[in-house]
Structure 1
Amino acid sequence: MKRKILSIMLTFALVFSLMAGCGTKSSNNGESNSTATATKSVKITLLNSKGEIQAQLEDAAKAFTKENPNITVEVIPAAAGQSPFEKVTSMYASGNAPTMAMLDPGDIAKFKDKFLDLSSEKWVSDAIDGALNAATVDGKVIAFPFAVEGYGLIYNKAVLDKAYGGNFDPSSIKTRDALEEAFKKVEATGAKALEISPMDWSLGAHFLSITYADQSKDPAQVAQFLSDLKAGKVDLANNKVFNGLMDTFDMMKKHNIDKNDPLSPTYDRGPELIGKGEVGFWFMGNWAWPQIKEFDTANGQYGFIPVPISNSQDDYGNSGIPVGVTKFIGIDKTQNSAEQQGAAKKFLDWLVYSSTGQDMLVNKLNIIPAFKNITLQPQDPLAKSILQYVKSGNTLEFMTTLPPDHWSKLGASMQKYLAGKIDRKGLINEIENYWKNVQ
């Protein structure tokens, strides 16, 4: 995905666009199947791999059924700690494939023989530029781009305002030293600086992947770097970006509220700490807003700052956060009936084109949509912060097509590093060995 084009289109779609939704491609298959579901009750299932919005997705399913009484949608959660790919694979093996499966971008192509061709759906024409890249396999669109997301260091502005004795300017933090100064200022107020959530997916898929994204502004150069890693041609011990990122991580470890037992916290601890103002920062993404909101009793302000990799504010990456389409939904064609497939298409259309569906997507699920016809402005502060980075062009490549086991295997390596069970040399060894063995 080209970051520059994505930035322009996201800005156009979500900030300045006044366009009404209309596509040029017809969805004849969806129309005929929708007609079938109009006179016949049908139940469909959605495998949800975004556990933080399980309750909100269930509410969206109920709202859809209220408007489409003959269609019932069951939202099935993927187990915590289980990759979506593993969950869906096991469901296929048991002959109980979900009608719709929410997967990571890198997993879509693996189901090309099981997912329905959606190329003729109306929303294909309304997708923002680049949003369908990972969903297009052998010239066919086989998945629906569900969410645009971004991540970095979430800050609680009230905590930072107190620490700085005035109006905190997030753009002032563009170096490692500036970040540590912010940590120390927060700690001087009696609060803690930072929460590092130790989940393997956060450490492996998100934090470590900044190493790849920050290698170059040019996506082709990033791809070449990964190719060189696979070929064993990269010496991470002498890679400036990697060492800079890990120097920052070492500094973050010193200010981690849970530094004495860094692997003990669960995901749920993060939103509580940042929402209650017990910490100033939390490394996480905008998907966490529904949980933060539950603890934010003061209607506070939140946003993102980048993870700096050096003390030179002009170094690439020090002013940007990763942004990209992170989740796709495929429709099964092998174990679900034509009526179920039609109902699933109708559900996706409902999200994109109905006022209720759009409201659910943007305001209830707190999703930044990947469609230019949706002009609703997100109200949550983290989505707004992401859009500010998009508008300014300060976005990094969200590494969404890494190998499926990257987050679990190298996330485990990052956990060991976080806990002090391996040093940097050991971490480098595990990272390089992992990439050399990627098939």
Structure 2
Amino acid sequence: MKKLAAIGLALIMTAGLCIGCGSKEAPQASDPAPEAAVKDTEKPAGDDAATNADAKDASGQDTKITLLNTKSELQTQFEEMAKKYQEQTGVTVEVNFTSDVVGTHLAGKYAAADPYTIMLVDHPDVYDFREYLADLSGEDWIKDGGDTYGITIDGKVYSFPFTVEAVGLIYNADAIEKITGETFKPGDYASIDQFEGLLKKLADGGMETPVAVNKDDWSLANHFFGQLYDQQGNSADGSIAFVDSLKSGETKLMDNARFNSLMDSFDLLKKYNINGSDPLSADYDLNNSYLAEGQVAFWFNGSWATDIYEYTENIGIMPLPQKDTTDDVNTKLVSGASKEFVIDAKYASPEQQQAAKDFLNWLVYDEAGQTFMVDECSIIPAFSNIEKKVSAPLSASAQEYINAGQSMYWYQEIPGDHGTQAGASLQKYLGGNSKRDELASEIETYWQAQK
């Protein structure tokens, strides 16, 4: 309980890491895609995936499990799924939602000895609460790629990768092509010089400010600046070693090529920012509409942004062009599992734990579960046996990079206060209230305090 209290206090005092979220997230597109057969024929489908006979607790009553959803744009989909799942399996899934910092919310629930059976959490939460979580290493979905994006700690897999998402430059191809008169191909603008030339061409063609830049601390610090941690050899070891060098003071950012490359690209986005006259008053929803309506051509964000679909579907996501092309940063899209399911092993009964595991297997191996993830939630599947293609344009664009092996490792062990602390420094820089060397010094000070 002392650990829980410490976690709760720390998280309450800081803003949580926001992965795959904005100030407002609308429901994702759910246009049905053609159904695909389950590749693994050894797995049961339909009602056989979890039979009513298996869904009884020790007293003979139908099993009930509770589920915490932390993605607001998927709440309706989860509620509808729960109804269908009960009809199919006899298991009641009570869906709950919180918009609180996930770690803070869970700390309170565990302190009250009342956690959920299954919880959709952020990457750091798996580490913070692992002593309360079920070991999922023996589950069937591990062999189908679940350990690639699932979190392994001390040789044990503790999480189920639910949402695979990507961060990068979202583009409106219609808006670009209207001015250039040419079909837009992201690969034609993979260098910073090519990209800058396109921005100038758009500006000369009447789109004076073809870029939207978010002011939100989570977007600036954890997503944009987070690329500095991601693009370190395209591996967990590379990212961890780089962050450790920041903590020790060994790395000086002003002497670091990756930092300067990233900030050169940031300066270019600032130059063409539609919010440039007052960048710190930028509104997330307005930026969304600017791109959707073609007032801008590019918006640095993630594959979760979906309001755009109301206006155009000729959109996609691409890597941010940079000067330094080490590790193929201009051709590989930062992507990873932004939300993970975990199962409580402290307070959930054995029957509830098994029911939760059955639910995860249902998602991977039952056609209805696959349909829920891919068609209804527009989620890029993390499992090799799922052949369904996501239909939402941004997710489909990201999936093309992932399927082609053009994915860049997404470092997600960022501390919970990185968004607020590093974000505040980046907001100062965005607003013209600090210089690059001052930003570098503040970021270095932040990390050195994390030792």
Sort the TM-score into its range (normalised by shorter chain). 0.7 to 0.9
Matched position secondary structure for 1:124: helix
Q: 2:342 & 2:224 partners in 1: Cα distance?
A: 27
Moved more, 61-70 or 245-254: 61-70
Which residue is equivalent to 2:82? 61
Assess if the C-alpha contact under 8 Å between 1:191 and 1:278 holds in 2: no
- Greater Cα offset, 427-436 or 266-275: 266-275
Which residue number in structure 2 is paired with residue 52 of structure 1? 73
| Structure 2 residue 157 is the aligned partner of structure 1 residue 137 | no
Residue 202 (structure 1) aligned with residue 214 (structure 2) = no
Q: Is the 8 A contact 1:44 1:344 kept in 2?
A: yes
**Matches of 2:41 and 2:254, distance apart in 1:** 50
* CA–CA separation in structure 1 for the residues paired with 2:147 and 2:131: 25
Residue aligning to 1:40? 61
How does the TM-score come out when normalised to structure 2? 0.82
Amino acid in the other structure paired with 2:320: V
SS in structure 2 of the partner of residue 327 of structure 1: strand
Note closer, same or farther for the CA distance 1:185–1:69 as it changes in structure 2 (3 Å cut). farther
The answer to whether the Cα contact below 8 Å between 2:55 and 2:62 also exists between their aligned partners in 1 is: no
Tell me if the contact between 1:34 and 1:342 (Cα under 8 Å) persists in the aligned partners. no
Tell me the residue number matched to 2:118.
100
1:353 pairs with 2:365: yes
Q: What does 1:322-337 align with in structure 2 at a 5 Å threshold?
A: 322-337=334-349
Shift in CA distance, 383/336, structure 1 to aligned 2, threshold 3 Å: same
Does residue 301 (structure 1) correspond to residue 314 (structure 2)? The answer is yes
Give the Cα–Cα distance (whole angstroms) in 2 for the partners of residues 69 and 129 of structure 1. 29
Could you tell me how far 1:236 is from its partner in structure 2?
0.4
How many residue pairs get matched? Answer: 409
Q: CA deviation at 1:402?
A: 2.6
**Distance verdict in 2 for CA 1:369–1:392, change over 3 Å:** closer
SS at match of 2:297: strand
Give the equivalent residue in structure 2 for 1:186: 202
More off after superposition, 265-274 vs 323-332:
265-274
Q: Contact conserved, 1:147 with 1:368, CA < 8 A, in 2?
A: yes
Does the residue aligned with 2:426 lie in a helix, a strand or coil? helix
Which secondary structure does the structure 1 equivalent of 2:126 belong to? helix
Matches within 5 A, 1:91-130: 91-128=109-146, 130=148
Distance 1:353 1:162, change over 3 A: same
**Mapped contact 1:33–1:339 kept (Cα < 8 A):** no
Range 166-175 or range 404-413, more displaced: 404-413
Give the Cα–Cα distance (whole angstroms) in 1 for the partners of residues 414 and 219 of structure 2. 14
CA gap of 1:99–1:232, structure 2 versus 1, over 3 A, is same
Q: 1:20 to 1:269 in 2, by over 3 A?
A: farther
The alignment yields a C-alpha RMSD, in angstroms, of: 2.9
In the superposition, relative to structure 1, how do residues 380 and 93 fare at CA in structure 2: closer, same or farther (>3 Å)? same
Query: What is residue 216 of structure 1 aligned with on the other side?
Result: 233
Shift in alpha-carbon separation, 1:215–1:131, aligned structure 2, 3 A:
closer
* Deviation at residue 23 of structure 1 after TM alignment: 6.7
CA distance in 2, matches of 1:17, 1:31: 21
Instruction: Go from structure 1 to structure 2 and tell me whether the alpha carbon gap of 1:399 and 1:178 turns closer, same or farther (over 3 Å shift).
Output: same
Whether 2:184 is the aligned partner of 1:172: answer no
Once the two structures are superposed, what CA deviation does each residue of 1:53-110 show, in whole Å capped at 9, x if it has no partner?
Answer: 333333333332343454032131323xx3x222222322233322222222233122
Q: Is the 8 A contact 2:38 2:366 kept in 1?
A: no
The equivalent of 2:22 in structure 1 is none
Shift of residue 412 of structure 1? Answer: 2.7
Alpha-carbon separation, structure 1, partners of 2:398 and 2:380: 9
Would you say the 8 A contact 1:154–1:302 is kept in 2?
yes
Counterpart amino acid of residue 165 in structure 1: G
TM-score, structure 1 as length reference: 0.84
The one-letter code sitting in structure 1 at the alignment partner of 2:408 is L
Q: Secondary structure at the match of 1:273?
A: helix
| Structure 2 alignment gaps of length 5 or more | 1-35, 45-49
CA 1:431–1:385: 2 relative to 1, 3 Å: same
1:37 Cα offset (Å): 5.4
Distance 1:122 1:210 in 2: 33
Hey, what's the Cα distance between the residues in 1 that align with 2:53 and 2:214? 44
The farther-off stretch of 38-47 and 349-358 is: 38-47
Q: How far apart are residue 43 of structure 1 and its match?
A: 4.3
Tell me what 1:341 maps to.
Answer: 353
Equivalent position to 1:75, from 93, 96, 110: 96
Contact 1:57-1:75 within 8 A present in 2 as well? no
Alpha carbons of structure 1 residues 17 and 161: separation in structure 2 relative to 1, 3 Å: farther
1:318 and 2:335 aligned: no
**2: distance between equivalents of 1:127 and 1:305?**
24
Which residue among 175, 186, 189 is the counterpart of 1:159? 175
The residue identity in structure 2 corresponding to 1:334 is K
Aligned to 2:254: 237
Residue by residue over 1:238-258, the C-alpha shift from the partner in whole angstroms, topping out at 9 and shown as x without a partner, is 111101111111121122222
Q: For the residues of structure 2 that align with 1:339 and 1:322, how far apart are their CA atoms?
A: 38
Alignment CA distance shift 1:221-1:330 (3 Å)? closer
Structure 1: which 5+ runs fail to align?
1-15, 25-29
